[in-house]
Structure 1
Amino acid sequence: MSFVAPFIESENVVELVRDKSKIPEKDYLIVDVRDNDFRGGNIPGAINVPARQLLDCGNDLIAKYRQVPLVIFHCALSQQRGPKAARIYNEMRHLTGEKGDQKVVVMRNGFDGWHARYHKEKDLIANYEPSIWGIFDDEDDKEQEEVENPYLAGIPKPSS
């Protein structure tokens, strides 16, 4: 039997993350299946289970989080790894005889879409390293960087 997980929109995930009455890993679980591309930022409360490791740790995930009503999978774009991981997780649940009402979904557009929409909202990205994404923000940050950079000491700042 093959399972296809439906998509959830990032706006719905934002509501969960920002709802202080909801507890990650209890009320919902976000499973980020990115590998090395996990570095540089993630959705707050997400756990990282690289897609290539899911078969090895899937039964442990199922056992540990069986009481969580909503499990959200995603990868970078949620086109390959995220949907496949959600399918594998659902199939493993079925094969182990898990009977709970757990809903398994895939976040549309993955972390790249999340980052594009929410990278400036500090409460929506944890462990964020903007330089990994090629983002060097605001002139204020650049001015502060120049003041603190010892290699620029004594070099006059350009006038605005």
Structure 2
Amino acid sequence: MLKEDEIVAGKDYLLVDLRRNDHQGGTIRGSVNLPAQSLYPALPTVYKMVKAAGIRRVIWYCSSSRGRGTRAACWFGDYLEAKGNTSIQSLILLEGLKGWVKGGDEYVECIDGYDHAYWESQ
């Protein structure tokens, strides 16, 4: 079990922002953008890259993580199961980017391109 101060972005986890046309208000620093619309056929490539990098957790998110985030985590989880891989977890960022912003200033500071006006209207 990893302690919180031992968790390393890009090694222990990968954040994947699934938004495409609604990619507004910023994105969590260090995440990669892979729109959900193109994800399913890219799963083998994502798997190979994650496995080769030794990443232990893939955390999927969209605006709320109730649609795309959940689907992506399930698709990748199914792919991992089919491969017999139990060393990688496919996770959902609870409440997505909206939930991240609601977490407060320490979370907002980690959003590249943060647009305060956008989030006030949400």
**Secondary structure of the corresponding residue to residue 36 of structure 1:** coil
Q: Which residue of structure 1 aligns with residue 55 of structure 2?
A: 68
Rounded to whole Å, the distance in 1 between the matches of 2:84 and 2:19 is 26
2:106 is the counterpart of 1:129: no
**Amino acid of the structure 1 residue aligned with 2:39:** L
Gaps of 5+ in 2: none
Q: Which residue of structure 1 aligns with residue 90 of structure 2?
A: 104
Q: Which residue of structure 1 aligns with residue 16 of structure 2?
A: 31
**Amino acid of the structure 2 residue aligned with 1:74:** Y
> Once the two structures are superposed, what CA deviation does each residue of 1:22-50 show, in whole Å capped at 9, x if it has no partner?
43221111111122222321111111111
Contact kept in structure 1, 2:15 and 2:60, CA below 8 Å? yes
- The alignment's TM-score, normalised by the length of structure 1, stands at 0.62
Instruction: Report the alpha carbon displacement of residue 69 of structure 1 after superposing the two structures with TM.
Output: 0.9
**Secondary structure of the corresponding residue to residue 29 of structure 1:** strand
Rounded to whole Å, the distance in 1 between the matches of 2:12 and 2:109 is 18
If each structure's strand is expressed as a fraction of its own residues, which one has the higher value?
2
Change (3 A) 1:105 1:63: same
2:74 is the counterpart of 1:87: yes
**Bigger Rg over Cα:** 1
Q: Which residue of structure 2 aligns with residue 150 of structure 1?
A: none
Contact kept in structure 2, 1:74 and 1:111, CA below 8 Å? yes
Using the aligned pairs only, state the percent identity.
28
Instruction: Report the alpha carbon displacement of residue 124 of structure 1 after superposing the two structures with TM.
Output: 2.1
Rounded to whole Å, the distance in 2 between the matches of 1:108 and 1:50 is 18
Contact kept in structure 2, 1:38 and 1:48, CA below 8 Å? no
Q: Which residue of structure 2 aligns with residue 52 of structure 1?
A: 37
**Secondary structure of the corresponding residue to residue 99 of structure 2:** helix
Rounded to whole Å, the distance in 2 between the matches of 1:25 and 1:76 is 21
Gaps of 5+ in 1: 1-14, 136-160
**Amino acid of the structure 2 residue aligned with 1:62:** Y
How many residues end up aligned between the 2 structures?
116
**Secondary structure of the corresponding residue to residue 15 of structure 2:** strand
Instruction: Report the alpha carbon displacement of residue 88 of structure 1 after superposing the two structures with TM.
Output: 0.7
